[in-house]
Amino acid sequence: MIAVDSLWADDLRSRIARDLGMPRSHVVFAASHTHFGPESRLGNAAPWSAAHLARLEQMTEAIAQGAARLAQKLAPCSLHVGSENVASQMYNRRLIRPDGTCCTVFRLPPPEENLSFGPVDPRLAVLRLDAANGRPAALATSVGIHPVVGGRDFYAISPDYPAVLRQTLESVYAAPALFFLSTAANVVPVRRGPRERSRIGRTLAGAAIMAAEGAERVEGSINVEWERLDVPRVPPHP
């Protein structure tokens, strides 16, 4: 999914909270933000076809049932946190000219000279959850690179590089691997097109493995802090 729509996520959050006996604020949804999935934002356009709405309903039901099944498999785990620098795999597409104006560059190399690159968060973070036997029970990876790599058919449906990243980690650790997009903003992959999904996915998986192997244990329990931020729109420059 490219995003989570509050029009259906709020109802789903309430359902999961009720079924699992937990506060609504403890239920968090996250989309991988692939640009190659069917539209999931009901308020983004209209009207929707019956088939499209049926797909969203099917997805909602699958998520709710999946949460209910997983709640029956809870077990104590220890948390380990690690990170690696993957700055070589990303760049900020909002480049700055010498006069201070900006231009958006979707592919490298830049079309103009003397452009300065904007900031990126170079960290790939990994949470490794170890079971009582010391083996990884699950991993969660987060990095701020838009899943817009694409492939030979740029308009085909695809989970993009996060799928390759997850599949590679799962083949190494024999445990579920989750993906969370970090604060990507205008940060995009350095290369796009055929075979690049596999390349960047495996590259990030390699960094994730290094981060997981060097992760340090975090003592204490996991808690929840929830706050909604309504960010005001900034008027565009004339």
What are 56-82's pLDDT values in tens digits? 888 889 999 999 998 898 899 999 999
Please report, rounded to a whole number, the percentage of residues in the chain having pLDDT higher than 90.
61
The mean pLDDT value for 104-130 works out to 93
Res. 235: pLDDT tops 80: no
Predicted structure pTM score:
0.87
Condensed to tens digits (0 to 9), the pLDDT of residues 15-69 reads 999 999 999 888 988 889 998 887 777 765 567 788 888 888 888 899 999 999 9
Torsion of CA 15, 16, 20, 23, to 10 degrees: -90
Give pLDDT, residue 189: 96
SS3 at position 50: helix
Give pLDDT, residue 161: 96
Cis peptide bond N-terminal to 176, omega within 30: no
Name, in order, each residue with C-beta under 8 angstroms of 57's C-beta and a sequence gap of 6 or more.
none
For 53-86, give one letter per residue: b (16+ CB within 10 A) or e.
Answer: eeebeeeeeebeeebeeeeeeeeeeebbebbbeb
Condensed to tens digits (0 to 9), the pLDDT of residues 152-190 reads 787 788 999 999 999 999 999 999 999 999 989 899 999
> What does the mean pLDDT of the chain come to?
90
Residue 91 β-bridge partners: 188
Give pLDDT, residue 179: 97
